[in-house]
Amino acid sequence: MRYKPLLIYLFISSIFLTLVGSIWKIMATLQGLKLTEINFNINFLLALLLSLSIVLIGKKINHLIKILLLPLLFTFIYILINEAAPIWYNVGILLISLFFTNRVKNYTLSYLKEDFVSEKIVFDFLSLFAIVFFAFIILFPFYLMFVTSFKLQSELLFNPLDLSINFTKNISEQFKSYVVIFKTYDFGRYIYTSSIVSIGTVIITLIFAIPAAYAVARLNFFGKTFLSTSILIIYMFPAIVLVIPLYTVFSQLGLRNSIEGLLIVYTATTLPVAIYMLQGYFKSIPKEIEDAGLMDGQNWFGIIIKIIIPLSLPAIASVALYVFMIAWNEFLFSLMFLDNPKSFTLSRAINHLTGDAETPRQYLMAGSVVVTLPILLIFVYFEKYLVSGLTAGSVKG
Amino acid sequence: MTDTLSKIEKRTAYTLLLPAVFLVFAIVLFPIFANIWISFKEVQLKDIRIPEPRAKKIVKSISEDKTKLKIVYRLRNSSLIEDINNIKFSDKLPKNIEPVDLDSRCIFKSKKIKCDFGNWEAKYRENFEIIIQNINGDLIDKNIIKSQKPRLSGDADNILLTTKFSLKNFKKVFNENEFLDLLLTTFYFTFFGTVGAIIFGMFAAQLVNQKFYGRTFMRSILLFPYVGPVVALAYTWTLLLDPNSGSLNALLVNFGIIDKPINLLGQKYMTLNLLGFDIKLRLALTTVIMFEIWRYFPLAFLFILARLQAVPKDLYEAAEVDGAGPLRKFVNITLPQITAILSILFMIRFIWNFNKFEDIFLLTGGASGTRTLPINVYQQGFAVSDIGMGSAVSIVIVMLLIIFMIIYFKLIGKRANEI
């Protein structure tokens, strides 16, 4: 029986084509197109027909003709049996079917008789679909955030399906939400506070962590193993169990609503992982290089400044970026410690915006874009460093 | 000689470590122990301000005598519950100015009015008046008198430092009928959030481990949900899932998949009919778990991808020669190679999801059946304002955490270094 691969191929590929078509339809709907029917069953039959004809035609006609002709035919029937849609939508359908046909152009009846072909087909389509699926579910919320920040309250309530950007508005109208959050809600100050807190945390953490990591990596002292295990264990304790005692103590010391208080807490909570990451890297530096430094009469301060730091810049960059990300995104402590708008960080300020149910959502989303964009840009630009930081630090999150 | 060298080494090590260790002890370890202390006390949020004596100074003219001024000090105990003992008061007067008919509790010495007010009970209030005059009979400048602030001092118990203890908080924590529900919700959230994230992460890693066009782009965007700030992402999701103006509900209604919008974050239960059985689904909790999976599968992805890339390629080539298909290759080569990392990931993510606060707090605030233990810490401590209860819940979390960590180190602690 060699029909099994054929049936599997037909089923999987048609499902794939229909699903991708449906995603395209959903995306078109979200651009304001009035489409109300998915027509899954009919479109599935149509896709089945396309898959079957590709295999049946096989190599009997020229590849190029097959790849061009069949999608055109498919799109034509698709337009006939689906509701009316503008031309750009149907061009999208044509491109999807073109891509699909090109993908399976080599599938013939004889190819489907090879070993493990059904498994290969399943894996192939699964990963193709997974690419579309993951890209869609990840990028969609970011897209929603971005687009909503350019909308007006009335547009949002009138048609939540229309997620297109109206480019005909003039500049000041287009960026109104951003103007409002900077002028009325004072987001400029929050950006400044967030930057100071994040950069400050990075600097203080590094100043504390580099010597400590060097000691753990290189020097012998009583309690070393105990210390290196406790670093990891301390790291496992979550912020939520620290919050009440810190809140009470900070209240009594008057450290609430102050940047200093946040700096202390952020530094202390990121120190363990910074030490852990750095000492791993320091251990990989050959000891002979340091010995040479010792011969030159350097003390430990000189060794750290002149030898260790220049040699471990990539690791320090990783730690710095990771700590920056943690501090920039941190929410719990800023929620607990800050209740005076003068000392808000960006995250806290956005949370404060929602406290008033009347705040239009486009302002909220504009604020979200303002806090998200810098960290995503930093991530994309320094991806290599941040990824290694994330991998080492991702025991937490 | 070597002895002194090792001594120097030790001393250097301690000097280098001291700042970091001190800070971590003060901010991380101390609070964990402080929690134990606070959890045995009945402390409310309003109690944590240390009681202090306060005085507001008001300067008034006296209409019949222009050379005299009346100073009124509005004295009060800032605390509503605690007494203040041994209160001392002092205020300075400018040159040539002295009080007339001073209160018996006070003395005037070297230009200073010094009073001994004794003890004030909680909520104590008094209007304390002094009349002053200029020795030369000149007018007194009101502003100079006003600008001088009185000093007050007193001894009050800091409620956090007293040795009054009670077991009431723990009794309340465990006797609450909801405690079991709370624990179950936490485990449900933790378990499914962890497993879901690992499964998604595994798929994503398997995907990116292949060669295809746009692979590096895909690898970058797969990390976006984790890198983005939780506040922004949670509010975007809230907007997306909103029953009235959210895109998801609008979409589902538009295509006729549902009749009317579902409040995905605000509805506790939803009855699903599966194969004739009615299944009661914890709807809001499930939605929160979905967000959790969406946000944290990138971490699992990162870990698993790193491991996958270390699997020797010739293993796959050998399998191909032996005639193994993709499925056999995955089950017999890939899976055994990643089981170690999967179990470590499971344990670590389990611990971290167990402690998750921000995500749930921002999405639902703990309403509609999404109250987990960490959310309870916040609600007890700050919404109900019962600091003692909040600490008691924290202690429960720490206890459970210690149990998890013991299991973790027993099971895979030694293997953790191999990855």
Tell whether A392 lies on the interface with B, counting CB pairs under 8 A.
Answer: no
**Best A208, A241, A330, A335 residue to mutate vs chain B (most B CBs within 10 Å):** A241
Residues β-bridged to residue A287: none
In this prediction the ipTM stands at 0.91
Residue A169 is assigned to a structural domain of this protein? no
| Mean pLDDT value of segment A105-112 | 77
User: What pLDDT was estimated at residue A392?
Assistant: 67
- Which of chain B's residues have a Cβ under 8 Å away from the Cβ of A384? none
Domains for chain B: give ranges and CATH numbers: 51-156 (2.60.40.290), 177-385 (1.10.3720.10)
Q: What angle do CA B303, B205, B354 make, to 5 degrees?
A: 50
- If asked whether residues A217 and A356 sit together in one domain, one would say yes
Query: Which of the listed residues A105, A130, A148 is the one where a domain comes to its end?
Result: A148
User: What pLDDT was estimated at residue A393?
Assistant: 61
C-alpha distances (whole Å) from B230 to each of A327, B255, B299, B362 are: 12, 31, 15, 8
- If asked whether residues A256 and A324 sit together in one domain, one would say yes
Q: CA nearest A278: which of A323, A240, A332?
A: A323
- If asked whether residues A193 and A121 sit together in one domain, one would say no
User: What pLDDT was estimated at residue B419?
Assistant: 44
Confidence of residue B3 (pLDDT cuts 50, 70, 90): low
Give the C-alpha separation, B249 to B239, whole Å. Answer: 11
pLDDT for residue B18 is more than 80: yes
Tell whether B203 lies on the interface with A, counting CB pairs under 8 A.
Answer: yes
- If asked whether residues A224 and A339 sit together in one domain, one would say yes
User: What pLDDT was estimated at residue A395?
Assistant: 52
Question: Reduced to 3 states, what is the DSSP secondary structure of residue A280?
Answer: helix
For A201-229, what is each residue's pLDDT tens digit?
A: 999 999 999 999 998 888 888 888 888 77
Percent of chain B at pLDDT above 70? 96
Query: Which of the listed residues A100, A126, A148 is the one where a domain comes to its end?
Result: A148
CA distance B409 to chain A (A): 10
Residue A155 is assigned to a structural domain of this protein? no
Instruction: With CB atoms and an 8 Å threshold, state whether B236 touches A142.
Output: yes
User: What pLDDT was estimated at residue B133?
Assistant: 81
- If asked whether residues A78 and A205 sit together in one domain, one would say no
- If asked whether residues A57 and A192 sit together in one domain, one would say no
Taken in order B94, B95, B97, B98, is the CA torsion positive or negative?
positive
Task: Kindly state the tokens that stand for A280.
Answer: 């791993």
- If asked whether residues A299 and A388 sit together in one domain, one would say yes
Residue A266 is assigned to a structural domain of this protein? yes
Structure-model confidence comparison of residues B160 and A258, the more confident one? A258
User: What pLDDT was estimated at residue A366?
Assistant: 92
Q: Which of A38, A115, A244 faces B394 most closely, judged by CB atoms? A: A244
Instruction: With CB atoms and an 8 Å threshold, state whether B245 touches A135.
Output: no
Residue A157 is assigned to a structural domain of this protein? no
Q: The domain containing residue A21 runs over which residues? A: 3-148
Give the C-alpha separation, B123 to B52, whole Å. Answer: 11
**Count: domains in chain A:** 2
Contact residues for B80 (Cβ-Cβ < 8 A; gap 6+): B46, B122, B123
3-state SS of chain B: helix, strand, coil percent to 5? 55, 20, 25
| Mean pLDDT value of segment A59-78 | 85
Question: Reduced to 3 states, what is the DSSP secondary structure of residue A141?
Answer: helix
- If asked whether residues A261 and A195 sit together in one domain, one would say yes
- Which of chain A's residues have a Cβ under 8 Å away from the Cβ of B334? none
| Mean pLDDT value of segment B35-50 | 80
User: What pLDDT was estimated at residue B26?
Assistant: 86
| Mean pLDDT value of segment B11-27 | 87
Instruction: With CB atoms and an 8 Å threshold, state whether B49 touches A387.
Output: no
- If asked whether residues A279 and A320 sit together in one domain, one would say yes
CB B108 within 8 A of CB B55: no
pLDDT for residue B418 is more than 50: no
Task: Please compute, for residue A211, the number of CA atoms within 13 A of its CA located in the half-sphere on the CB side.
Answer: 17
pLDDT for residue A394 is more than 50: yes
For B196-247, what is each residue's pLDDT tens digit?
A: 999 999 999 988 988 888 888 898 899 999 999 999 999 999 999 988 888 8
Percent of chain A at pLDDT above 70? 98
Query: Which of the listed residues A98, A130, A148 is the one where a domain comes to its end?
Result: A148
Residue A192 is assigned to a structural domain of this protein? yes
For B151-187, what is each residue's pLDDT tens digit?
A: 888 777 776 677 777 888 888 888 877 788 889 999 9
Lowest mean pLDDT among A272-281, A313-322, A354-363, B370-379: A354-363
User: What pLDDT was estimated at residue B330?
Assistant: 83
Residue A164 is assigned to a structural domain of this protein? no
Instruction: With CB atoms and an 8 Å threshold, state whether B251 touches A29.
Output: yes
User: What pLDDT was estimated at residue A397?
Assistant: 46
Work out how many CB contacts closer than 8 A connect A with B.
293
- A231: domain CATH number? 1.10.3720.10
Residue A154 is assigned to a structural domain of this protein? no
Task: Please compute, for residue B311, the number of CA atoms within 13 A of its CA located in the half-sphere on the CB side.
Answer: 23
Q: What mean pLDDT, rounded, does chain A reach?
A: 86
